[in-house]
Amino acid sequence: MTPGAAPAHRGIEPLGHEVPSTVPTHWYNLAADLPEPVPPHLHPGTREPLTPADLAPLFPMGLIEQEVTTERYVEIPATVREIYSSWRPSPLVRAHRLERAIGTRARVYYKYEGVSPVGSHKPNTAVAQAYYNAVEGITRLTTETGAGQWGASLSMACALLGLTCEVWQVRASYDAKPYRRYQMETYGSVCHPSPSDLTEAGRAILERTPDTTGSLGMAISEAVEAAAKDPAAHYSLGSVLNHVMLHQSVIGQEVLVQLAEAGEKQADVVFGCAGGGSNLAGLTFPLIGQNLREGTTTRAVACEPAACPSLTQGEYRYDHGDVAGLTPLLKMHTLGNDFVPPSIHAGGLRYHGMAPMVSHVVELGLMDAVAVDQDEAFVGGVEFARAEGIIPAPESTHAVAAAIAHARTAAEGEVVVIGLSGNGVLDLPAYSAYV
């Protein structure tokens, strides 16, 4: 199947319908409140800080400006807010049954992003990225995806805003999760297993390791190469970069409002799963910003897979975001851009590095990190499902398991928030060994 020939610019203008006041009007940028600036991205050839001109072949100027801004708030375009309003604000739910099941004295809440049309947090940035590309006249986007939530989200956003989309999916997930591919194709996109023979990067990888299960780093190389060769195309990244962290901040901003509405003064500890960093940043950055500005004491915990432990075992240094070395050099916690993670079920967390902003926040001591074993994660996911009725995405189970372990011994009245980044209804084979 080839991408549908949707007309450019369709859907850019707002429809004019009323958007509830509970939908955030601005994205929040933690860079404005950090005590030290995030180290700049570097040009891979000169190793000098990137300029807007360096990024222009891959990204629209609207996103480039957001990548480097230090403004605290960035206004959300009316069209993006209208689309957000079909599922935002997402619910913050008191997990009463889970509290009873684990015998905790804490008050446990979960922020549920699975209510979005594709079942995860990814549309928060997919819609924004598709919008800014459409405004600039781009007609085609290329991207990578792991578990498929990002590929499905960008496919949906492109369908709504009149662009076509081509996705390279990590082969392990492509083979294990055909329903994600069907979802992308339903939205009019095309999805390839990565590495593929469609790009120079893919062919080189297959020549070296023909039986590889793939990685996000490999898929990024292919998507970047494809975009660079097409003047009508741009590349779109679902995590890692600063503008993605910015867009996801709607999650944590809503949490602050919803906790106050629930009568809570603050969250004592918040757990988010960590792969590239977008869900984690979106959930925690507004709360960390409140800590820095107002003196609250919320503890943020990044929960990464033990099979891909960039924060807990990686080096903090400049590295490429992809295998082929096509991307800028990013200062981040990394296992090395040639690291090929095992085929864990949480495909969305199989990345060798961590977002520069998240890495910087960890280095500053503003966030903790833990590594969660896959078995422990899925046991927690099953326990959550049987108590609360929602089957968490495999990625989300890492935050769920870490939160459950903490809550069992938590102090009386402690407020615990879990980032439930998506549902697992299209990932059920991953649960088969745990039920």
Residue range 61-84, pLDDT digits in tens: 999 999 999 999 999 999 999 999
290 and 349 assigned to the same domain: yes
349 and 412 assigned to the same domain: yes
194 and 313 assigned to the same domain: no
CA 143/CA 216 separation, integer angstroms:
10
CA 161/CA 189 separation, integer angstroms:
13
pLDDT of residue 298: 98
Asked if residue 264 is part of any domain, the answer here is: yes
Q: Please compute the mean of the pLDDT values over residues 251-277 and round it to a whole number.
A: 97
Residue 270, CA distances (Å) to 224, 281, 313, 330, 359 in order: 34, 11, 21, 26, 17
Number of domain units in the chain? 2
Asked if residue 12 is part of any domain, the answer here is: no
Which residues constitute the domain of residue 400? 87-119+252-434
Global pTM value: 0.94
Q: Please compute the mean of the pLDDT values over residues 310-339 and round it to a whole number.
A: 90
Asked if residue 8 is part of any domain, the answer here is: no
Residue 5 above 80 pLDDT?
no
pLDDT of residue 6: 40
* CATH code of residue 165: 3.40.50.1100
Q: Which of 177, 202, 235 is the last residue of a domain?
A: 235
363 and 397 assigned to the same domain: yes
183 and 324 assigned to the same domain: no
419 and 285 assigned to the same domain: yes
| Cα-Cα-Cα-Cα dihedral sign, residues 40, 121, 404, 268 | positive
278 and 191 assigned to the same domain: no
pLDDT of residue 348: 66
Asked if residue 241 is part of any domain, the answer here is: no
104 and 207 assigned to the same domain: no
Asked if residue 294 is part of any domain, the answer here is: yes
CA 398/CA 346 separation, integer angstroms:
9
206 and 305 assigned to the same domain: no
Asked if residue 337 is part of any domain, the answer here is: yes
168 and 42 assigned to the same domain: yes
